[in-house]
Structure 1
Amino acid sequence: MLRILLINDTPKKVGRLRQALVESGFDVIDETGLTIDLPERIEATRPDVVLIDTESAGRDMMEQVVMVSRDRPRPIVMFTDDHDPGLMRQAIQAGVSAYVVEGILAERLRPIVDVAMARFEADQALRAQLLERDSQLTERKRVELAKGLLMKMKACSEDDAYTLMRRQAMSRQQKLIQVAEQIIATHEMLGV
């Protein structure tokens, strides 16, 4: 059963939405009207999904969503009455997985949450790929720097420097990046 943190930022009664969520098979673990402590509330309750019901998401709410998306990522569904395409883009960029305008029908809740979770998972996978690519690029740059330093120190060709680094890595059972970092550190220490 999915655990839902319900944020109600509207003057409407939240009971109707809570009841619809329960009838749709969700466990509403907490509900509040305040979003000023959203990251802490998420840390305390550890919901599977955050559902926000608001007439129009303000700047403070968007800042809270950004902090959650950065520090404690969760699928976030926002129900709103605001049709503004700019606000919709801002919400999506902040980390909202599903932005639903006009009305909450009980029979639509399950598919909306399912779509939000699928979108969230896809976004998280893309972020992980980007981080991995960034890491690989950084490692490649460091290996290239070390290779250049080794070429200067040993007065050898690029291929020879790379071969020396690979041999060192294999003989010490290290990764190439570890050997590269050792070469860079030695160069910095000796000031060669």
Structure 2
Amino acid sequence: MKTSIQVDTATFRGKARAYVDQKVAPAFVDAINVAANAAKAAVVEAMPKYLDRPNPFTLQGVQVLPAVVGATGPKAGALVRIQRDQAEYLQYQVYGGDRGPGDVATTSEGPIVPGADATLDAYGNMPDGYISQAMMDPDVAWVTLKEGEPPALIRDRGGHMEILALIVHEIHYEARFPFLDIVTQAAAAALLGAFGAAVTYRGRL
């Protein structure tokens, strides 16, 4: 006795493809975005550990560009990045390097750093507009303290000199914020569980 079994493979392939397109691909994108947002949260959480009193501007600089499902399938990738304005500063914490004349937030002679008598905000920085406001005082001026060195912003207190700010030739930074490691580890830890949850959720739709 012979038995013949016929399978409509074309129909099966069509249904399988539809399931992947309608359920699995969106679930994969959902999982990638969950993992990306977990990585973003990990970066923000780690900033106070590696950086000296990061201010709200810095903490708000972490951004996720989400993965999306396009007309031809998923663009299987989300981007976790530091936004441009914050990256101009944080690049030195991530990669190290030297910041000198002409770089972001510098003068033609070099970066400005707080002097011993500077007024600092809660994050250890000179407040916005600090230099221009100090310059409104007639007893404040840029003074060359040492020949061949950039000037310092000095307040004359009548026999007592306050150093409000200094221009230095350059500032050297050592890499100390492991941005890539934090993102990679947090995303990997979240991805598998997020994918399982996303497949379950999409399967119910």
Name the TM-score, length of structure 1 as normaliser: 0.27
Name the TM-score, length of structure 2 as normaliser: 0.26
**Max radius of gyration: which structure?**
2
> Which structure would you say has the larger RCO, counting Cα contacts within 8 Å and 6 or more residues apart?
2
Structure with more strand by fraction: 2
Structure with more helix by fraction: 1
